[in-house]
């Protein structure tokens, strides 16, 4: 056995020792490769023996040489290992490096671009040296701040590209999706059917197992240079999925469009025209029609009985008593007005983060309300809203939310009206519990109905004097035939408890438009 062979055996033993102690997730970031070089690099990554705990992030810069197809093919073969993202227009190395790092979930990132080769043994040793010396830096291997991979790392500040500063401001439509392939086609078609021309779609998929990604790729082929695409290697939850969209966003205005919803052709044009006409306003809110899982639409009264400009302080006071817009898809935001208003990572952010942001925005700026139903909001048993009904968050989350909103109001001038509504809002939550108790009974879920019934007292003890509470308290001790009769009476006499049937006058100071 010669000396070179001995050296190889020693090196292999050292590598095996390193592997045995290796726990860190390594993010391998690839961007701005041509097709041939990308395939060679990916082949070397997935056939190396040294780094076992790794993910691959591929940022495609609107390539025309087949690199994007190669990225998709490898992502399909190595399911759960590769996150892929494609720009709608070429942005260059620096932009892809910045975006790619924000897509990484590891403790270390290895950044490769152009013609770089991947040397796994060298990378492993470099990382071990960096672990041993916290002050050691490397030219293309970086430490990443350890964070919860299911939370976005920051709120990226957007800069509008010069070539996109046209006569018509760019509108970014953020479509974030998980397993809604059956609805996605209608959603994307509705965006490309808009009467407003300057629109981009920023799409992100959360590792769907249906045909969602294939639908998105089809639209990217049909509408080149108008869609940016990202697909997570695993489901990181809706927050991360949304932030992926933000990483690709270039517009002055932003619409967060749920992938099971659709918008009417004039939605964006109406909103942009009003926001441009009233530059101090922060967002435009439209009314909705409710659409079921089969596409059947049911109209409902608009929240306000006329389109108008609403003072922010007054709208904030209304938010203390009502969500006003049940869907986030109802709002088109002026992006500059959202900076610093999102409180990502707080207790209620998963379900109510957008409502917190909307309230926060209203503390500073007026808003536009459009009474026409320009959104088709799909309500179905598999939606987030449906899950909220079953886990009591519709009421418990609202209870926490109201205290958060009251705290926010306390940091602004002229917000006494909103803050002073907290006791009335808490009482309303108690009545909301009864509303959901009735709704659950009507749906045959007596266990969930009982939970909402008892929660009503916990939230607002004086609810025990309410007529509906008194009647419901009799329900639980009745036999089945008596229960059915009482429920029928309650539902007939309290339809307005289950569903809003009227429109309201706009708040004081509102200007019709």
The confidence score (pLDDT) of residue 390 equals 64
The contacts of residue 449 (CB under 8 Å, 6+ apart) are: 436, 437, 438, 440, 441
CA 485 – CA 487 distance, rounded (Å): 6
**At 322, is the secondary structure helix, strand, or coil?**
coil
According to DSSP, residue 168 is labeled: S
Of residues 484 and 11, more confidence is placed in 484
CA 321 – CA 430 distance, rounded (Å): 12
pLDDT > 70: percent of the chain: 87
Using CA atoms, how far residue 234 sits from 76, 104, 136, 303, 498, in Å, is: 12, 12, 32, 38, 38
According to DSSP, residue 255 is labeled: E
Give the N- to C-terminal CA distance of the chain in Å, as an integer.
Answer: 89
Strands (DSSP E) found in 346-429: 367-378
Strands (DSSP E) found in 313-433: 331-334, 367-378
Render 446-495 in DSSP notation, one character per residue.
HHHHHHHHHHHHHH-GGGGGSHHHHHHHHHTTS-HHHHHHHHHHHHHH-H
The confidence score (pLDDT) of residue 482 equals 86
Q: How is the chain split into domains, by residue range?
A: 21-143, 162-390, 421-498
The crossing angle, in degrees rounded to 10, of helices 422-442 and 393-409 is: 170
Of residues 341 and 406, more confidence is placed in 406
The confidence score (pLDDT) of residue 250 equals 92
Nearest by Cα to 144 from 155, 125, 158, 130:
130
The confidence score (pLDDT) of residue 13 equals 54
pLDDT at residue 54 greater than cutoff 80: yes
CA 247 – CA 239 distance, rounded (Å): 13
**At 345, is the secondary structure helix, strand, or coil?**
coil
Mean pLDDT for 345-364 is: 80
The confidence score (pLDDT) of residue 486 equals 85
Block residue for tokens 């441009």: 276
Write down the architecture of domain 21-143 according to CATH: Alpha-Beta Complex (3.90)
Of residues 331 and 5, more confidence is placed in 331
pLDDT at residue 19 greater than cutoff 50: no
The confidence score (pLDDT) of residue 389 equals 60
Of residues 475 and 320, more confidence is placed in 320
Mean pLDDT for 13-34 is: 74
CA 218 – CA 201 distance, rounded (Å): 13
Q: Is 462 exposed, middle or buried (0-12, 13-18, 19+ CB in 10 A)?
A: exposed
pLDDT at residue 156 greater than cutoff 60: no
CB 319 within 8 A of CB 405: yes
Domains 21-143 and 162-390 share a fold: yes
The confidence score (pLDDT) of residue 162 equals 46
Class in CATH terms, 162-390: alpha beta
Helices and strands (H and E) in the chain: how many? 19, 16
Among the listed ranges 307-321, 439-453, 476-490, which one has the minimum average pLDDT value? 476-490
pLDDT at residue 180 greater than cutoff 90: yes
Mean pLDDT for 435-443 is: 86
Nearest by Cα to 417 from 430, 406, 401, 433:
406
pLDDT at residue 20 greater than cutoff 50: no
Using CA atoms, how far residue 183 sits from 193, 262, 293, 309, in Å, is: 16, 9, 8, 33
Q: Name the band, by pLDDT with cuts 50, 70 and 90, for residue 344.
A: low
The contacts of residue 39 (CB under 8 Å, 6+ apart) are: 70, 74
The contacts of residue 403 (CB under 8 Å, 6+ apart) are: 422
The confidence score (pLDDT) of residue 269 equals 98
pLDDT at residue 495 greater than cutoff 70: no
The confidence score (pLDDT) of residue 481 equals 83
pLDDT at residue 500 greater than cutoff 70: yes
pLDDT > 90: percent of the chain: 71
| Pairing of the two strands 367-378 and 331-334 | unpaired
Neighbours of 494 (CB within 10 A): 15
Give the phi and the psi of residue 486 in degrees, each rounded to 5. Answer: -65, -45
pLDDT tens per residue across span 218-262: 999 999 899 999 999 999 988 889 989 999 999 999 999 999 999
Mean pLDDT across the chain? 89
pLDDT tens per residue across span 73-116: 999 999 999 999 999 999 999 999 999 999 999 999 999 998 89
pLDDT at residue 423 greater than cutoff 80: yes
Of residues 160 and 100, more confidence is placed in 100
Q: Name the band, by pLDDT with cuts 50, 70 and 90, for residue 181.
A: very high
Neighbours of 16 (CB within 10 A): 11
State both tokens at 96: 């892809």
Nearest by Cα to 86 from 221, 195, 264:
221
According to DSSP, residue 158 is labeled: P
């Amino acid at each position: 056995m010669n000396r070179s062979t001995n050296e190889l055996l020693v090196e292999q033993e050292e590598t095996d020792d390193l592997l045995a102690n290796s726990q860190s997730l390594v993010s391998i970031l690839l961007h701005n490769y041509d097709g041939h070089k990308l395939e060679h690099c990916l082949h070397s990554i997935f056939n190396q023996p040294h780094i076992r705990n790794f993910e691959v992030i591929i940022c495609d810069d609107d390539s025309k040489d087949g690199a994007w197809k190669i990225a998709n093919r490898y992502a399909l073969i190595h399911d759960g290992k590769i996150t892929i993202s494609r720009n709608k227009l070429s942005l260059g190395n620096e932009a892809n490096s910045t975006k790619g790092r924000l897509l990484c979930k590891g403790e270390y990132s290895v950044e490769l671009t152009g013609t770089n080769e991947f040397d796994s043994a060298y990378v492993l040793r470099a990382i071990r040296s960096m672990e041993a010396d916290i002050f050691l830096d490397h030219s293309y291997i970086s430490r990443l701040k350890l964070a919860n991979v299911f939370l976005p790392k920051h709120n990226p500040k957007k800069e509008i590209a010069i070539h996109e500063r046209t006569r018509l401001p760019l509108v970014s439509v953020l479509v974030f999706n998980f397993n809604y392939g059956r609805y996605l086609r209608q959603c994307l078609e509705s965006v490309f059917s808009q009467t407003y021309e300057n629109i981009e779609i920023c799409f992100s998929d959360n590792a769907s197992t249906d045909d969602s990604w294939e639908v998105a790729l089809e639209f990217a082929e049909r509408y080149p240079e108008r869609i940016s695409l990202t697909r997570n290697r695993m489901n990181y939850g809706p927050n991360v999925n949304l932030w992926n969209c933000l990483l690709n966003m270039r517009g002055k205005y932003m619409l967060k469009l749920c992938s099971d919803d659709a918008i009417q052709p004039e939605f964006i044009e109406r909103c942009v025209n009003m926001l441009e006409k009233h530059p101090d306003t922060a967002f435009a809110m439209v009314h909705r029609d409710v659409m079921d899982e089969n596409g059947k639409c049911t109209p409902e009264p608009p929240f306000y009985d006329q389109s108008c400009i609403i003072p922010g302080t007054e709208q904030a006071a209304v938010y203390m008593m009502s969500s006003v817009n049940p869907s986030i898809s109802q709002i088109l935001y002026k992006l500059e007005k959202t900076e610093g208003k999102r409180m990502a990572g707080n207790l209620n952010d998963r379900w109510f983060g957008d409502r917190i942001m909307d309230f926060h925005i209203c503390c500073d700026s007026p808003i536009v309300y459009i009474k026409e139903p320009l959104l088709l909001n799909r309500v179905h048993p598999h939606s987030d809203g449906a899950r909220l009904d079953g886990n009591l968050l519709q009421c418990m989350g609202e209870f926490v939310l109201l205290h958060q909103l009251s705290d926010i109001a306390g940091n602004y001038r002229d917000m006494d009206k909103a803050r002073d509504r907290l006791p009335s809002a808490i009482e309303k939550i108690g009545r909301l519990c009864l509303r959901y108790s009735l709704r659950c009974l009507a749906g045959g879920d007596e266990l969930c109905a009982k939970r909402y019934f008892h929660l009503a007292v916990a939230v607002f003890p004086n609810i025990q004097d309410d007529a509906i509470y008194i009647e419901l308290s009799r329900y639980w001790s009745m036999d089945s035939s008596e229960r059915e009769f009482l429920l029928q009476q309650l539902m007939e006499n309290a339809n307005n408890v289950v569903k809003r049937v009227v429109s309201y006058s706009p708040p004081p100071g509102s200007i019709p438009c």
